[in-house]
Amino acid sequence: MKSYVFPGEIDASIMQIGSRPFIYMRTDEFSAINKESERILLDLIHCKGGRTIIYTGSGTGAMSAVVENYVSTKTKAFVIDGGSFGHRWYQLCEYYGVPVYDYAVPFAKDIDYKDLETRIDEEKPDVFLCQHHETSTGILFDLERISNICRRRGISLVVDVISTFLAEPLDMDALGIDICITSTQKGLNIPPGLSVLFFSKNLEGYSFNHRGYYWDFDQNLSNLMRGQTPFSPATILYLQLNARLRQLAGEGGETANIARVAQRAAFFRSLCSQYGWEVPAERPSNAITGFQTRDTAERWIFRGLIEKYDTYIMPGGKPGFYRVSHMGLQSEEDLKELAARISEFEPK
C-alpha cells in the first residue's frame, strides 16, 4: 500500500511500538513520558511557559473542547469559513449556542484582509476562530495579518493548526495566539487518535466554563500537571507520540521537518505543472497539494489508483480536484511514480 492521505507513510520504528507490550497508565513511568511530551510540544510551537492537554480523541474533539470550555465564556465569536474545517468552527458555536459571525471565504481563495477588518469592526467579536490552513482546499491563511488585526482590537485568537503544525513555520508567542490545536495524524505523522491543545501563558488562571464533562479543561490540565489523564488514555498512541517527538527533537526540530515537507510539496507541484494540473490555492500550504485534474465526478483516478496500485489520495469537494498530503514519508521517486499513475487514469 502507498498512502498520500493522513497520516501517510509512518516511520517503521514508530509503527512497531503498536505491536509491543505497553506500560500501565497509572505509573510514574507513564507520567514522565507525558511530561516530556508536553515539554517538547511546547518547544516545537514556541509557547514559552504555556501548557498542553493531550486528549484521546481526534482533532474535532479538540475543536469541540475549545468551544465548550473557552469560546463559550466569550460574548461573540468570529469564524473564518473557507471550507469544511472552517465551517466546523461555525457549527460548533451554533451547537453550543455561542453568538457567532460566519465570514465566508470562496473556495481556495485567500481572505480579503481589508474587508475582514471592516467586518470585524462592525461585528465586534471578542474571540476569533480560524484555520491556519484550510485543508479541504489547500489555502494557507496569513496568520501574521490575522494576528495584527486581532491584537490591535484585543480579540482573543484561537487557531486550528491541525494541518500546519510541523509543516509550516509557526511561532505561537510571536503571533499572540491564545490557543492552538493539532492532532496526531497530520504533521506529527503518527496514527490518528490523539489531539493536542496548546495554551499560551496568557491564559494562566483563566476561568474556563464547564460545559462538557469529558473534555473539561480544568480537570485535564490539573491531571496533566502530573503527567496523567483523568480517564483511560490510548496508551499506545501516547507512547508513539513521545517516540515521535524525541525523534523530531533529535532530527533538527520543527525547522528541519518543515524543510522536508516543503521540499516534497515543491517537487510534487513541479510535476503538477508538467502534467498540466492547476493548483488553485492562492497561497498553497506545504502540508498538501490540492490540484485540478480533468477527472469527472466518477472519480476514475481515485478508484483506479486503489484498484490497480493499492494507492490512496484524497478526493476534494469538486469533480477532478484531488489532494496529496506531504506530511508522511515520501521520496521524489515515490512522487514521480504517483504522478505518472494519476495521469494513467485521467480521462483524456
Ligand X SMILES: *Cc1c(COP(=O)(O)O)cnc(C)c1O
Question: Does residue number 156 form part of the binding site for ligand X (CB under 6 A)?
Answer: no
DSSP string, 108-142: TPPP-HHHHHHHHHHH--SEEEEESEETTTTEEP-
Strand order in the sheet with 156-160: 51-56, 194-199, 179-183, 156-160, 127-131, 77-81, 100-104
Q: Does the footprint of ligand X cover residue 162 (CB under 6 A)?
A: yes
Nearest residue to ligand X, by Cβ distance, number only: 59
CB of 161 to ligand X, least distance (A): 8
Among 34, 52, 72, 135, binds ligand X (CB under 6 A): 135
SS3 state of residue 207:
coil
Least separation in angstroms between residue 160's CB and ligand X is: 5
Selected range binding ligand X among 26-34, 55-63, 148-156, 167-175, rule: CB under 6 A: 55-63
| Least CB distance to ligand X at residue 57 (A) | 8
Among 59, 82, 191, 290, binds ligand X (CB under 6 A): 59
What x-and-dash track marks residues 103-132 binding ligand X by CB under 6 A?
Answer: ----------------------------x-
Helix (H, G, I), strand (E, B) or coil at 19: coil
Residue from 69, 183, 200, 229 in contact with ligand X (CB under 6 A): 183
Residue 7 CA from chain centroid, whole number: 11
Which regions of the chain does DSSP assign to beta strands (E)? 2-3, 51-56, 77-81, 100-104, 127-131, 133-134, 139-140, 156-160, 179-183, 194-199, 288-292, 311-312, 314-315, 321-325
Distance of CA 105 to the CA centre of its chain: 19
Our finding on whether 31 is near ligand X (CB under 6 A) is no
Residue nearer to ligand X on the CB measure, 58 or 343:
58
Take residue 348 and report the three cell numbers written for it.
Answer: 483524456
User: Among 85, 141, 217, 268, which residue interacts with ligand X (rule: CB under 6 A)?
Assistant: 85
Which residues here bind ligand X, judged by CB under 6 A? 58-60, 85, 131, 135, 160, 162-163, 183, 186
